Structures are given as structure tokens and as C-alpha cells.
Amino acid sequence: MDALGIDIGGSGIKGAPVDVRAGELTAERLRIPTPHPAEPGAVADAVARIVRHFDWTGPVGVTFPGVVVDGVVRTAVNLKGSWAGVHAGELFGGATVLNDADAAGMAEMTYGKGQGQPGVVLMLTFGTGIGSALFADGVLVPNTELGHLQLHGTDAEHRASDRAREEHGLGWHKWAERVEEYLRHVEMLFTPSLIVIGGGVSKKADKFLPHISLDTPVVPAALLNQAGIIGAARAAAQAGAHAG
């Protein structure tokens, strides 16, 4: 079955149709810059543009960079719009909406590095913020917000996200030190058997992963930055199957 996956990020909104059985994009993705300010109406217009671009009438899944419970947004710290309480599922035309890292993690567990991994697996995405998806024997604990763990008196994502790397003018090695410190903290709290690194930086893993040493294996996401799109599409296809 095919579904359209749309990934809302702090800088871009990206979408593509996905073959959900294979976990692969079936057409080149479309990227629209995230509107500023990223108010619900403007973001909904961008989502609608992507749906129109692909002439899509099937299931649509959308990732959101904040806490989403039953389609309703609780927080969106990196979007800067008035999102709390917005029913994103309705706003996006009946789409299935879920947290971005949860979507990426589900994709990675189904088609990528997490396949068949028992025990505690943690996917962490490094982009505008730090997103987290926590799995126990393949089952997701939704909406963990581990990017907001406090380190040195501030949110971890303010020090160790990819945006922090750029804004603080850090070289890869310096940034990797911050990421390692963060990963050690998370490792201490959860004792995962595997940590998967996703988000925009996953395609540059060779620049920073060699500088990170941890007891837990740390691997880049197999689906790279497409994990969100693929995970969103998968969630939509599953929701459709349950409804039908």
C-alpha cells in the first residue's frame, strides 16, 4: 500500500509518496521552506500544497516537531506558532499526525537499523532540536522529550542539536564532545542496547561518530533524513487499515 508522508521541520516541510511495504519513496520528495512565523494556518497551507503537488487522495501521515496526543498538539517549542491545543489531524485535512522523532524511530525499527532489535532501543534525531523515540522490545513509548533533559542548566538541545552546532560555530569534533556528553547522560538513565542517530546530521555521521565513544553501540539511521517521511506514511497506512 502507498501513503503520502510529510515531515514538518523547523526549516523545511518535506513530503513524498511512500511504498509502505518496502519502506521506500516512490517519487522525488518535494521540500517547501517552513513559513515564518510557523502559525497553524501557514503550515496547513504548505501541507496542502504538498498533497496537491502529488495529486494525492490516499492516506496522509504528517510528522510534527512537538508533543502530539490523539492528533492534538500539546507543545511545539521550535515552531514558534500558537499550536497548543490545535487539532493538527483536522487542520491537515484528516491526516494521521505524530511526533517527528516517533515517526522516524518507527521507520527505523521497521525498515532500518532497529529491525528485530530486542530490549531498549533509542532513536535520537539531531536537527533544529533533539527528538527522541524510545522502544522496549519494538514497542514505542510515545512522546518522550529527551531533547529537553537539563544539562549544564539548560535544555540539552540548546547545546547539542545540529542548530546549536551551527549557531555556536562549533567544528564537528567540538560538537561531538557535546553530543557524547548528552548520550552518556541518556545511556546512564535508560541503559539502551542500541542508539540510532537520525535527523539531518545522520548523512554526515562519518564527521562526528568517530569522535564519540560510548559503551552502547551508536549507529547512524539507515533511512537517513527520510525516516520521518517514511514513518509518517507508515502510520497513516496503519491508521487507514485499522479504520477500514
Which residue's C-beta sits nearest to ligand BGC? 129
* Shortest spacing between CB 155 and ligand BGC, in angstroms: 8
Residue type, position 136, single letter: A
Binding of residue 78 to ligand BGC (CB under 6 A): yes
Binding of residue 195 to ligand BGC (CB under 6 A): no
Interacting span for ligand BGC (CB under 6 A) from 62-70, 163-171, 212-220, 221-229: 62-70
Binding of residue 99 to ligand BGC (CB under 6 A): yes
CA dihedral angle for residue 90, residue 73, residue 125, residue 26, rounded to 10 degrees: 0
Binding of residue 105 to ligand BGC (CB under 6 A): no
Binding of residue 66 to ligand BGC (CB under 6 A): yes
User: Could you say which of 5, 23, 59, 147 contacts ligand BGC (CB under 6 A)?
Assistant: 147
Binding of residue 144 to ligand BGC (CB under 6 A): no
CA dihedral angle for residue 164, residue 78, residue 225, residue 42, rounded to 10 degrees: -140
**32, exposed or middle or buried, with CB in 10 Å at 0-12, 13-18, 19+?**
middle
* Pick 114 or 127: Cβ nearer ligand BGC: 127
Binding of residue 123 to ligand BGC (CB under 6 A): no
The residues of the shown chain that bind ligand BGC, judged by CB under 6 A, are: 65-67, 75, 77-78, 99-101, 125, 127-129, 131, 145, 147, 157
